[in-house]
Amino acid sequence: MRLLITRPRLAATALAARLAALGHETLVEPLLTIAEEPDARERLAPALAGAQAVLFTSTNGVASFAAASERRDLQAFAVGDHTATAARQAGFAEVESAQGDVDALAKLVAEKLPPAGGTLVHVSGRVAAGDLAGALAGRGFLVRSVSLYRTIPATELSAKSLTAFRGDKLDGALFFSPRTAATFVRLARAAGIEGSCKSMAGVALSAAVAAELEGLGWRRVLVADAPTEVAILKTLEDLDAEVRRSGAPNP
């Protein structure tokens, strides 16, 4: 299939390579740019004092932590396998993956760690999805949430993407966050390409992401069975098989 990837560039490039290996064509259109906070190191250092673990809800958080601190002695908990892999590559020796969402991460931490063992440091951007600190506070933990980066939304779609939309060259678009989905809807309307979505499938990481895609008249919107990249790839596999069964030309 021919697919649009809307993730930040680093994550989008890695995903494009995986999709290419599966035989799909991709077009990368980063709708959010990651910018590290200039005082990230100063913010993080005091938060790590007395901490028993660090919590990552995105690969962006891992990268920002790695740039702001040399500490790798803490146990790391990641929202999913992709983020866990990034943490291991960054040098963390003890890494646990929740293989799910923020709620799954809170549950895993509560199962593995004692509230009295020390504070937990949640690395995030200025806008964080879910309420991880609140979920863990309800279980008796003290969580220090530290914003180390910010996400800057795109102001327009690229000429290459607009040409692909207007020429009906795409079969689907992948969305991994509500903010990315909302940014796409805004830019698509501004560019007047809403009608092009009628021949495409929107593929969303979660129901919250799918909700932001409403109003563009997609051929259909698919939601991954779990909020993980593996589940997104399985959704694409099912979509591809469906296209083949329907007798339509294979994208």
Mean pLDDT of the chain: 91
pLDDT at 251 over 50: no
Domain extents in the chain: 2-31+154-246, 34-151
Structure tokens of 79? 């929202």
- Is the sign of the CA dihedral 212, 224, 107, 149 positive or negative? negative
For a pLDDT cut of 70, what percent of the chain falls above it? 96
**CATH (residue range 2-31+154-246):** 3.40.50.10090
Architecture of the structural domain at 34-151: 3-Layer(aba) Sandwich (3.40)
- pLDDT of residue 27 exceeding 80: yes
Determine the average pLDDT of the residues in 80-99.
93
> What tokens were used for 25?
């064509």
Q: Which pLDDT score is estimated for 224? A: 93
> Who contacts 125 (Cβ-Cβ below 8 Å, separation ≥6)?
34, 58, 60, 61, 147, 148, 149, 150, 151
**Most confidently predicted of 185-189, 233-237, 239-243:** 185-189
pLDDT of residue 101: 86
3-state secondary structure of 120: strand
Q: Quick one: pLDDT at residue 250?
A: 41
Q: Predicted confidence band at 242 (pLDDT cuts at 50, 70, 90)?
A: confident
Which pLDDT belongs to residue 246?
Answer: 62
The pLDDT, as a whole number, for residue 100 is: 83
Cα–Cα distance measured from residue 237 to residue 241, given in angstroms and rounded to the nearest whole number: 6
Q: What is the mean pLDDT of residues 103-111?
A: 95
Using one digit for the tens of pLDDT, what is the confidence trace for 110-128? 999 999 999 999 999 887 6
